[in-house]
């Protein structure tokens, strides 16, 4: 049998699905800095060159990883009731996306960044927009309403999804105790210089992030409802 020629080593075979799944795993574990082709190749087995058979660069991989995650959001919200209050459906879409981004803060920077690759992101945007269209707002107001909801959801989720302070991560301080410590620092501020801080400090102390998000979302949806000339409804 003829000896193997130099440079003829067989390429390790993966699949695009396996590459994207492994990329999502790395992103979930340590965020965007952890996603390198070297780390991905080590996770999958094989050399860095094997990754380039499926994606041309890191940006393409990040867009594909984002699209993979958003597919789960679409699946979670596929059964929106066509005859339900459109803003109830908007709330459902917003909460699903919020939960996903809060669990995966890396997602915030890449959601809908490239809709040519991110087909699922485009479908989510369409799904949200179709609910807003039912309010019979003008095209401009509909566009602004969708943009406001997406901006609020992604911005708050990315902020709340940041890694907690080191002492909380290490278990030295419970999350509730950490917040209580900040609240006590606010209480020590001069009341005349910081009247707002004193006004809300008891609400801040021990608050739940999801409750804070829901309250802000309801304020936003109430504003959209008012602009559409619809009667106000209470928060669910």
* pLDDT confidence of residue 179: 85
pTM of the model: 0.83
Own/partner long-range contacts of 45-52 (Cβ < 8 Å, ≥24 apart): 45/12, 46/11, 46/12, 46/14, 47/12, 49/11, 50/11, 50/12, 50/13, 50/14, 51/14, 51/19
Q: pLDDT tens string for the chain (236 positions)? A: 434 333 434 444 568 999 999 999 999 998 889 899 999 999 988 788 888 888 989 999 999 999 999 999 999 998 888 889 999 999 999 999 999 999 898 999 899 888 888 999 999 999 999 999 999 999 999 999 999 999 999 999 988 877 666 776 667 778 788 888 899 999 999 999 999 999 999 999 988 889 999 999 999 999 999 999 988 765 44
Task: Kindly state the tokens that stand for 185.
Answer: 């620092």
Instruction: Say how far apart CA 159 and CA 199 lie, in whole Å.
Output: 23
The structural domains of the chain, with segments of one domain joined by +, span 80-230
Q: Are 47 and 41 in contact (CB under 8 A)?
A: yes
In terms of Cα–Cα distance, which of 119, 147, 127 is closest to 79?
A: 127
> Residues 171, 173, 179, 182: is their CA dihedral positive or negative?
negative
DSSP 143: H
Superfamily of domain 80-230: Tetracycline Repressor, domain 2 (1.10.357.10)
């Amino acid at each position: 049998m003829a000896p193997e020629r130099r440079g003829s080593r067989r390429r390790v075979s993966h699949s695009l699905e396996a590459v994207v799944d492994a990329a999502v795993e790395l992103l979930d574990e340590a965020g965007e800095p952890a996603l390198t082709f070297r780390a991905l190749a080590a996770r999958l087995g094989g050399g860095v060159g094997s990754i380039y058979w499926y994606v041309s660069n890191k940006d393409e991989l990040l867009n594909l990883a984002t699209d993979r995650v958003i597919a789960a959001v679409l699946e979670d919200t596929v059964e929106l009731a066509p005859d339900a209050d459109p803003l109830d459906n908007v709330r459902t879409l917003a909460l699903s996306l919020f939960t996903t981004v809060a669990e995966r803060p890396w997602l915030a920077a890449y959601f809908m960044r490239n809709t040519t690759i991110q087909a699922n992101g485009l479908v989510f945007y369409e799904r949200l927009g179709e609910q807003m269209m039912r309010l019979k707002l003008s095209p401009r107001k509909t566009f602004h309403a969708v943009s406001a909801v997406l901006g609020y959801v992604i911005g708050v989720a990315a902020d709340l999804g940041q890694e907690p302070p080191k002492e909380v991560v290490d278990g030295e301080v419970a999350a509730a105790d950490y917040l209580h410590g900040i609240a006590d620092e606010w209480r020590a501020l001069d009341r005349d210089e910081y009247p707002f801080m004193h006004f809300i400090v008891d609400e801040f102390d021990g608050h739940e992030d999801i409750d804070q998000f829901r309250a802000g979302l309801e304020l936003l949806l109430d504003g959209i409802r008012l602009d559409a000339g619809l009667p106000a409804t209470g928060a669910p």
